[in-house]
Structure 1
Amino acid sequence: MSRPVQLLGCALLVAALAACGAGGGQNGTEGQGKKERKAPTMDMQQAGQRSEAILDGTLAAIHPSVKWAYGAPAEAACSTGLNEPTDTTTVTRSRNILTVVSEQRRGNLLGLVQRYWERQGFRVVSANSDKDMPRIRARDADGFTVSLEVGNIGNVSVSAGLGCAENSAMTYPTGTPGHPGGPKAEELRPREHSAFWSSNEPLRQ
């Protein structure tokens, strides 16, 4: 019943990644309407592995630590502006934080993660400071996009991905929903208590 929360977050990131990967300027010939595309810098397997590494680093940077579970991966075929296939696919991986993060501590979590991403070379490209469903998104020089967002049931998810990687077979970490060794459904609803992150007391600066 809560599954659309995570699917919406993934869909937004996939759309952003596809827009970045399929972009480009005119090829210099008037009237043809085709866009110049950059060659893929890596294949889907490499993009998936790099995305998982980015998420591993992000979660390891959160102190006190939080409990988490793998989110459902997402892939979306890229195409030209004329809907022609490009033999490339947008790859997105995600993690769902199972620790309850109170409204009073959400800003602390977003700030901590943003500072970590910036130290890793990411640049914030959009932020939503909505009280109930804040979100932050950043991108690095290699084209990877990361996001952290709060869903409508207070769930927090972190996603990472690359737009338009070269088509290839992929493997997934054990525990990935929908794949061998993983649960049949995503774990979305936070249920683990933390003396720090679940506290309703504002953090003193």
Structure 2
Amino acid sequence: MRRQIRILMVLLLLASLSACAKGAIYSNERRSDMDMQEAAEHADGILDALLQEIHPQVQWTHGPTTTGSCDVTRRRTVMTIVSAERRGSFLGVVDRFWRKSGYRIKAINNDPDVPAIFAQTQDGFGVSLIIGGEGQAFFEVDSPCVQESEVADPIAKPNGPSYADVEIIPRPNVRSDFWSAGAP
């Protein structure tokens, strides 16, 4: 029960930060310099750059793309098991890369069961990393309010199996000598 409450709190924080990122910077006014497809492609670039910085490499797959009235969200789910002993290192790699990239860290959740980092790019995209059950990492990029348009599927191919046709992405199932190790 306690763990479910923690997870719910993290999800509420994520929703709150996402709404803040979109509303506070742009006051819900549409950016005329970008449409939803361009925002989705920019979000993909943010995710590609991040995943290239993680060494040793982790296996990932696309999560669902969602759109709102003027925003788009891209997701990537890590299929490599990140052990409890290595989660701090994983979060540290992401935190350092985001800071080096000029992102503003908005919140850090140090909960041992569901650690997370929430940040914002200089151009108003919200980025987050949440470590969920069984050490599965979830990356999400939310666009600010942009011009409405159709949004195509991501072009990048996952570096492992694609779960595009399944309703629920399975728990992490790839072991890494480094990220899945039981020693810090």
Counterpart selection for 1:107 from 69, 88, 97: 88
Equivalent residue for 1:80? none
For residues 48-103 of structure 1, what are the alpha-carbon distances to aligned partners after superposition, in whole Å with 9 as ceiling and x for unaligned? 000001001111100000101000112222xxxxxxxxxxx121101000001000
Counterpart selection for 2:142 from 136, 147, 161: 161
Checking the alignment, whether the CA contact within 8 Å between 1:137 and 1:148 is kept in structure 2 is yes
Return the TM-score normalized by structure 1.
Answer: 0.74
Equivalent residue for 1:138? 119
For residues 120-155 of structure 1, what are the alpha-carbon distances to aligned partners after superposition, in whole Å with 9 as ceiling and x for unaligned? 111111000001110001112210111111113431
Counterpart-to-counterpart distance in 2, 1:12 and 1:117: 19
Counterpart-to-counterpart distance in 1, 2:99 and 2:25: 25
Judging by fraction of residues, say which structure has more helix.
2
Return the TM-score normalized by structure 2.
Answer: 0.82
Counterpart-to-counterpart distance in 1, 2:111 and 2:138: 16
Counterpart-to-counterpart distance in 1, 2:150 and 2:11: 20
Equivalent residue for 1:46? 38
Q: CA deviation at 1:11?
A: 8.0
Evaluate the alpha carbon distance shift between residue 23 and residue 48 of structure 1 in structure 2; reply closer, same or farther with a 3 A threshold: same
Checking the alignment, whether the CA contact within 8 Å between 1:14 and 1:90 is kept in structure 2 is no
Counterpart selection for 2:174 from 192, 199, 202: 192
Equivalent residue for 2:19? 18
Q: CA deviation at 1:182?
A: 2.9
Counterpart-to-counterpart distance in 1, 2:10 and 2:39: 19
Checking the alignment, whether the CA contact within 8 Å between 1:100 and 1:191 is kept in structure 2 is yes
| Matched letter for residue 22 of structure 2 | G
Rg larger for: 1
Evaluate the alpha carbon distance shift between residue 24 and residue 143 of structure 1 in structure 2; reply closer, same or farther with a 3 A threshold: closer
Percent sequence identity is 35
- After superposition, the CA RMSD in angstroms is 2.7
